[in-house]
A = this chain, B = another copy of it.
Amino acid sequence: MLGNTFGRLFRVTCCGESYGKGLLTIVDGVPPGLKITKEMVQAELDKRRPGQSPIDSPRKETDQVEIVAGLLEGVTTGAPIGMVIYNVDTQKIHVDQYRAVKDVFRPGHANFTFFVKYGEYADWCGAGRSSGRESVGRVAGGAVAKFILAREGIEVLAYTAESHGIKMRPMSYEEIRANYRKNDINCPDLETAKKMEEDLHKVREEGDTAGGIIEIVARGVPAGWGEQVFDKLKATLAQGLMSIGAVQGMEFGDGFQCATATGSKWNDQPFVEDGAIRFKTNRCGGLLGGMSNGEDLVMRIAVKPTPTISKDQDTVDVYTMTPQKLSAITRRDITLLPRVAPVAEAMVQIALVDSMYMAAAYDSVAKLDKHWKEIGRPRHKATGQNP
């Protein structure tokens, strides 16, 4: 029943369901002095809002955010930020649709496991905390993280690299950055994007849905972030990304290609550029020993096809344990890719701010005494050590 908090020093806690009154996000560990506005958060939420194109679900949610805590005259104070997003599209007609099928397992859906875990009380209406709707909270938290990272010169982009087997061409970071928000599928390769969309329209007509791959790049992360052994940056990012619904796999850099490679081909060779270490290639995706190496962090996640399809499916009734047919459902996302991309962006942003704090904590230690003086912290200083 737990699981609604992410982070060690920068912590995002969320709640809320599709058919409840609203969603709350509390972000703890926010530095003082930031001019965070609701418009900034809204801009991020608008990226993942449904009903924006023919390949999304037609659900109508405005996702208007209100910041109710953590700001004094528009500036953060070191207090946690509290955000409220009320639901609007919770009409009885949709509730009743869910009620009608609440006793049958929907193939590919979490309602089976939630039923096993929570029994008759499991939320049958819009999937509760297993709904993609929970990701509103992730994106709201990610918006705050994005603001903090921007001050450090760090940015994160997530975009569709592959849809239903159709792949984008290799592109530079700058080109990706300039184009990835220009179409419904969030693919920076504008030519290929058209093909992806055409293909998805066909998939929709067949009553089906499709999967794909989201690529995420984080640029500007200094080398040396991440902890040892179990808390490698690699592991923290993996936890964040694999916690997103519908994600079936993830890889860093060239990922699974390493399985066919030899060491002499795989190792990225370091060299010196402008007095700093760089690497000639980035097969490892910006991670050595599980910590950031100063190059772009590159991650790819595999997103499964939306499980809700417009075809009849075999299923089982929970209570009678008898075979059933689940009828076609028309209100659905044809692909989850454009909805998952902003969520992946958010999770990487949150994980990076959290890791930045961890790095900062330890970096500081070698020169703390100097530090307390610099910032003029009053104290009654001891003159020696105890015997």
Contact = CB atoms under 8 A, between A and B. Distances in A.
A360 B363 CA distance: 9
Which residue of A72, A209, A314 has the most chain B CB atoms within 10 A of its CB atom?
A72
Interface in A204-262: 206-213, 219-224, 226-232, 234-243, 245, 247-262
A76 to B, nearest CB: 7
A304 B258 contact: yes
A104 B15 CA distance: 39
A69 B379 contact: no
Given A72-B128, A361-B358, A266 B304 contact: yes
For the residues of A in contact with B, the DSSP-based class is mixed
B258 A362 contact: no
A97 interface: no
Contacts of A361: 9, 357-358, 360-361, 364
A58 to B, nearest CB: 17
Given A21-B69, A79-B15, A113-B292, A165 B260 contact: yes
Contact of A248 (B120, B229, B255, B264): B255
Contact of A256 (B77, B241, B249, B265): B249
Contact of A382 (B24, B219, B311): B219
Interface in A83-127: 84, 86, 105, 107-114, 116-125
List 7 A-B pairs, minimum CB-CB distance, nearest first.
A110-B289, A249-B251, A3-B227, A3-B231, A32-B121, A361-B361, A238-B242
